Structure 1
Amino acid sequence: MKKWLKSLVLLAAVAVFVAGCSGGTSGSGDIAQEITINAMSEPPDLDPALATDTTSGWVLDHVFEGLYTKDENGNPVLGAASNAEVSEDGKTYTFTIRDDAKWSDGSNVTAGDFEYAWKRTLNPDTGSSFAFYLYYLKGGEAYNKGEGSVEDVGVTAEDDKTLVVELEAPLGYFDELLTMWSFYPVKQDVVEENEKWSAEAETYVSNGPFKLTKWEHDSEVVIEKSENYWDSDVVKLDKVTYKMVNDATTYYQMFKTDELDLIQTLPSDVIDQEKDSEEYSEVPYFGTYMYMFNVDKEPFTNAKVRKAFNLAVDRETLTTNVTKAGETPAHAFVPEGVETPDGDFREAGGAYFEDDAAEAKKLLEEGMKEEGWTELPEVTLLYNTSENHKKIAEAVQAMYKENLGVDVKLENQEWKTYLDTTKQGNFQMARMGWIGVLVDPVVILDYYLGDSPNNRTNWVNEEYDQLMADAKVEQDPEKRYELLHQAEAVLMEELPFNPIYHYTNNYLTSQDFDNIVYPVNRYPYLKWAEKVSE
């Protein structure tokens, strides 16, 4: 088992890659402070209340800022707030908004902007898939589920500078949680005057270190340094361009010809030759690559069939010979990297199954007999368009053929369409990745809550939901982690999904840049990045 995160600080770990031994100096000469990176696909939604994916989050993290943000070492520090006071019982926070916190249009950021944004996310009419992250707020869950009023939600702007936040129970990582995009403010008049305010650069207003200046859909997004950002002196880059090139071979060649300065998810067939390059880096990424099963669609209505499809995948071969980027084969949902009183959460919990082709075949036969099937219903595996996703799907397809005797069909869709398709439940088996917004088991396991909009499997288990609810209010760390282990055990017994591997991201980064930050649960952060040579 890898130990890559044990030396990192809990809930704040990052890797900082100083790219360049070129002798350049800060602010040197007339070097154009611009970088071109690859987002690979169109961001599905740049509204903080509606975004659910890492591509949209990558842009949002640069153009917005919450009450807390992250420093260069990944620790939560005050952002749009200049002060935070916590009550003795840990349930009430009083924030003071910075005097110099500004929107990109030059107007003041107010406490009311945060109250409006959070209540908008919780408003059931908004349809936010990430509203459950705000259930920690007093009255938040009840309001979102139509069982309470907006007036009872524990976020109140007492005046333009003072925001009072009340929690259902003390939460030790609340400062960390507030760095995620679901807690970003939005400007009320902008949102209410134009329901499509976040769809075009011309109508977009944000409060972060960069501002959105161009969005050529399905081609590129451009963000530029915001002169109104309170901490703009530390921002060195004037312009960041996100290209949208999905084909791995194409964007790899674009990096080699200096059309891109940073790429991720290298073509698997070039990883071996790039590993010794100074431009290459591997960074742990706190998440799990998986295939979801729709438990309402045959054959995955049967638990033994689901387990058979899990055991039939040879994860070691897959990560060694197909992905090749240092990923860890996944036999559970929560990745390594969370220190608990009993050591690493994953090591303490262990593996829940072993890859076993013979046992997989046996379980498949038993499941088919239980259902009265003489032939297995036809299975289609859906994945979002990407060369690497295709290679993994083809490898898994071959394993199912060899180990189960099952011919699985493959189908792919572009990312935004794919999200809509899976949200509507129009799939049997579909690829998904889940990254923890903070390094804690609860945000991984939240994915499969029965009422989570992100849980697209239709699997609901009352015991699982109750264990998760109990863990969220448990103040004793040992008891809390034990409840989370119990919840994971329930999930892994039912297996509404097929965990494939725990992520490691690989990057190629131009040596012309310094101070790019690589978080373990976000894509590269460019607030302090600087181009030091041409």
Structure 2
Amino acid sequence: MKIKKLIASVALLSMVINILAACGKQNTTDGSKNAYPGTPDANSITVNISSEPPDMFSVTMTDTTSFTVLRHIVENLVTLDENDNVKPGVAKNWTVSDDGLVYTFNLSDDMKWSNGEPVTAHDFVFAWTALLTPSFASDYAYFGYVFKNGEAYNKGKVGAEELGFKALSDYQLEVTLENPTSYFLDTLAFGVFAPVNEKAYKEFGTAYGTDADKMVYNGPFKMTSWEHESKIVLEKNPDYYNADQIELEKIVMVMINDSNAALNSFKVGEVDMIGLNGEQVQLMKKENYPVYTYADGSTFYLEYNMDNKYLSNKNLRKAITYAIDKQAFIDSIVKNDSQPAVSFTAPAINGLNDKFYKEVGSLQPAFDTELAKEYYNKALEELNVDSISLSLIIDDSDSAVKNGAFVQEQLKVNLGLDIKIEPMPFKSRLERMSNKDFDIVFAGWGPDYNDPLTFLDMFETGNGNNHVSYSNPEYDELLDKVRTEKDKEKRFEYLKQLEQIIMDDMPVGPIYWRSRDYVLSGKIASGVIRTAFQDINLINVKLSK
């Protein structure tokens, strides 16, 4: 996501000490007398998504904000329930062969796109073929390697007719996998596997997904307006197969990247859901206002461009990572129950018998200034320089600017290293990362499905999300073993080895594992889902009567 994706913003949202709701499901504000009443429009809510979605074409999307919007307007073969369990979407049921390689999906025949076209198996074949077609340059093309011949097609070795998915009929889709994959169904709920109507794509071409009127919809809502850098309006889709179960008539998603402005908008009844920073959590607690929290499953870290003449040095990367006091970062900036990251894969991910991060153990110190100085001096000697010049790119939100300032100060005080901070709009940061036009970037990664591979496969040589140009033959070989190993114990041993290699080579420097806080207006009674695998899901929101 998970966010499987890049996190839509490095804005830091804090966790209240007294948890008032179960993780992932926030059901009510309990009709609190002090509840801010929310927006006045009937059967409508307004929520803050903080930043502009860079694009809404599922094949090329990479960020959590875009996937959040897509979840409401395009339905996949399967979706996730409030507990992140797979449930039917466009596919009403399916069967799996005894060897776990062949899935046959039976599609509902009563779904249609907003252009009147029926939703068929051909829409998935078109979308998944596009995902794997090099000319689309999808950063997530490697997700399609799960299909038989997916990688071979992406690398030009076979034709599209040999791909492991085909429409047996308009409403039956057969999928053959390269290897048995236990988490395959979970991945199908992720946005890159969304269907795309071929007729609509051919009509709009490369403009597909750039405006509300340049794409089509088969989900519970349709996008009726997109005022760029301002707001997106979603309205209930009357043609959705389950429309009678959707209570909301409209969802307005605003893009307020200043946390104080967002809180003010919430308090005056212009927004019904916003995220909070640490100071704001304390303010709302003083008002005895319900604050909700969830661990979003993301790791935030510094990405080091290994093509940089300085950052190609492993000792320098370790020095920078160890010189940042991660608990102090949480205490002074995040101010919540986020955790210092002592490995890469976030705590939400399952391991063999426990959470994977527990099975891996601590692979880096949360802070070690002496060790950092030792590595820094080694780096200066190996690079044969007296000083190093680097810049850090960040989002331009107020919280992101604080993040950058903290890192800058830590490196100055603990290493004597001066770095330049470059704030920029979220979309620009993503472009710079994709183009590998940066020295260091403060970024984040959330899970797309519940397996360590959702974090670890991005470092494969040539992976579209491998912005740091990391390449390690041993790592690539282990990834191949993970994908083909049927013995669970051996597979997870390989995964632990991958984690260890990343934390030794350190192409990224993990900072913290994030928890997030938010508030709801009294207008929202129940139905908000926020989990590590569904950053925001408002489809089944119920309003107070």
TM-score when scaled to structure 2?
Answer: 0.92
CA distance in structure 2 between the aligned counterparts of 1:120 and 1:338, rounded to whole angstroms: 29
Instruction: State the identity as a percent.
Output: 33
Q: Which residue of 2 aligns with 1:119?
A: 129
CA distance in structure 1 between the aligned counterparts of 2:352 and 2:443, rounded to whole angstroms: 31
Q: Which residue of 2 aligns with 1:358?
A: 370
SS in 2 for 1:288: strand
Q: Which residue of 2 aligns with 1:81?
A: 91
1:437-516 to structure 2, matched below 5 A, reads: 437-513=448-524, 514-516=526-528
Greater RCO between the two (CA within 8 Å, min separation 6)?
2
SS in 2 for 1:198: coil
CA contact (8 A) 1:340 1:478 kept: no
CA contact (8 A) 1:155 1:165 kept: yes
| CA positional deviation for 1:72 | 2.8
C-alpha distance after superposition, 1:319-369 (max 9, x if no partner)? 112111321101210111334344221112111121111111111011110
1:521 to 525, 529, 533: 533
CA distance in structure 2 between the aligned counterparts of 1:142 and 1:17, rounded to whole angstroms: 44
Of residues 198-207 and 221-230 in structure 1, the stretch that sits farther from structure 2 once superposed is 198-207
SS in 2 for 1:202: coil
CA distance in structure 2 between the aligned counterparts of 1:299 and 1:498, rounded to whole angstroms: 15
Q: Which residue of 2 aligns with 1:100?
A: 110
1:204 to 194, 208, 215: 215
CA contact (8 A) 1:201 1:215 kept: yes
CA distance in structure 1 between the aligned counterparts of 2:529 and 2:121, rounded to whole angstroms: 29
Q: Unpaired segments of 5 or more residues in structure 2?
A: 1-14, 16-21, 34-39
Q: Which residue of 1 aligns with 2:12?
A: none
CA distance in structure 1 between the aligned counterparts of 2:285 and 2:294, rounded to whole angstroms: 13
CA RMSD of aligned residues (A): 1.8
Q: Which residue of 2 aligns with 1:27?
A: none
CA distance in structure 1 between the aligned counterparts of 2:494 and 2:244, rounded to whole angstroms: 45
CA contact (8 A) 1:252 1:267 kept: no
| CA positional deviation for 1:23 | 9.7
1:214-293 to structure 2, matched below 5 A, reads: 214-264=225-275, 266-275=276-285, 277-293=288-304
Of residues 232-241 and 70-79 in structure 1, the stretch that sits farther from structure 2 once superposed is 70-79
CA contact (8 A) 2:351 2:451 kept: no
Q: Which residue of 2 aligns with 1:173?
A: 183
C-alpha distance after superposition, 1:119-169 (max 9, x if no partner)? 011111111111111110001111112222111111101111111101011
Q: Which residue of 2 aligns with 1:130?
A: 140
SS in 2 for 1:340: coil
Does residue 1:22 correspond to 2:31, yes or no?
A: yes
CA contact (8 A) 1:281 1:507 kept: yes
CA distance in structure 1 between the aligned counterparts of 2:476 and 2:443, rounded to whole angstroms: 21
1:35 to 21, 45, 54: 45
CA distance in structure 1 between the aligned counterparts of 2:277 and 2:101, rounded to whole angstroms: 48
Q: Which residue of 1 aligns with 2:384?
A: 372
SS in 1 for 2:240: coil
1:387-398 to structure 2, matched below 5 A, reads: 387-398=398-409
CA contact (8 A) 2:112 2:118 kept: yes
CA contact (8 A) 1:234 1:527 kept: no
Q: Which residue of 2 aligns with 1:10?
A: none
CA distance in structure 1 between the aligned counterparts of 2:153 and 2:320, rounded to whole angstroms: 39
CA distance in structure 2 between the aligned counterparts of 1:160 and 1:417, rounded to whole angstroms: 40
SS in 2 for 1:113: helix
| CA positional deviation for 1:315 | 0.4
Q: Which residue of 1 aligns with 2:36?
A: none
Of residues 469-478 and 498-507 in structure 1, the stretch that sits farther from structure 2 once superposed is 469-478
SS in 1 for 2:244: helix
Does residue 1:530 correspond to 2:542, yes or no?
A: yes
| CA positional deviation for 1:210 | 0.7
CA distance in structure 1 between the aligned counterparts of 2:220 and 2:489, rounded to whole angstroms: 39
1:52 to 62, 71, 81: 62
- Between the two proteins, the alignment pairs up a number of residues equal to 515
| CA positional deviation for 1:273 | 2.6
CA distance in structure 1 between the aligned counterparts of 2:522 and 2:499, rounded to whole angstroms: 42
Q: Which residue of 2 aligns with 1:7?
A: none
CA distance in structure 1 between the aligned counterparts of 2:51 and 2:537, rounded to whole angstroms: 18
SS in 2 for 1:194: helix
Does residue 1:415 correspond to 2:426, yes or no?
A: yes
CA contact (8 A) 2:319 2:371 kept: yes
| CA positional deviation for 1:417 | 1.2
- Residue 318 of structure 2 aligns with an amino acid whose one-letter code is K
CA contact (8 A) 1:219 1:243 kept: yes
TM-score when scaled to structure 1?
Answer: 0.93
CA contact (8 A) 1:220 1:243 kept: yes
CA contact (8 A) 1:287 1:444 kept: no
CA contact (8 A) 1:106 1:228 kept: no
| CA positional deviation for 1:274 | 2.5
CA contact (8 A) 1:14 1:517 kept: no
CA contact (8 A) 1:36 1:259 kept: yes
Q: Which residue of 1 aligns with 2:192?
A: 182
- Residue 157 of structure 2 aligns with an amino acid whose one-letter code is E
CA distance in structure 1 between the aligned counterparts of 2:349 and 2:311, rounded to whole angstroms: 31
CA contact (8 A) 2:96 2:104 kept: yes
CA distance in structure 1 between the aligned counterparts of 2:173 and 2:408, rounded to whole angstroms: 53
CA distance in structure 2 between the aligned counterparts of 1:275 and 1:316, rounded to whole angstroms: 23
CA distance in structure 2 between the aligned counterparts of 1:358 and 1:298, rounded to whole angstroms: 24
SS in 1 for 2:173: strand
1:310 to 310, 321, 324: 321
1:62 to 72, 92, 96: 72
CA distance in structure 2 between the aligned counterparts of 1:497 and 1:300, rounded to whole angstroms: 11
| CA positional deviation for 1:116 | 0.8
1:134-173 to structure 2, matched below 5 A, reads: 134-173=144-183
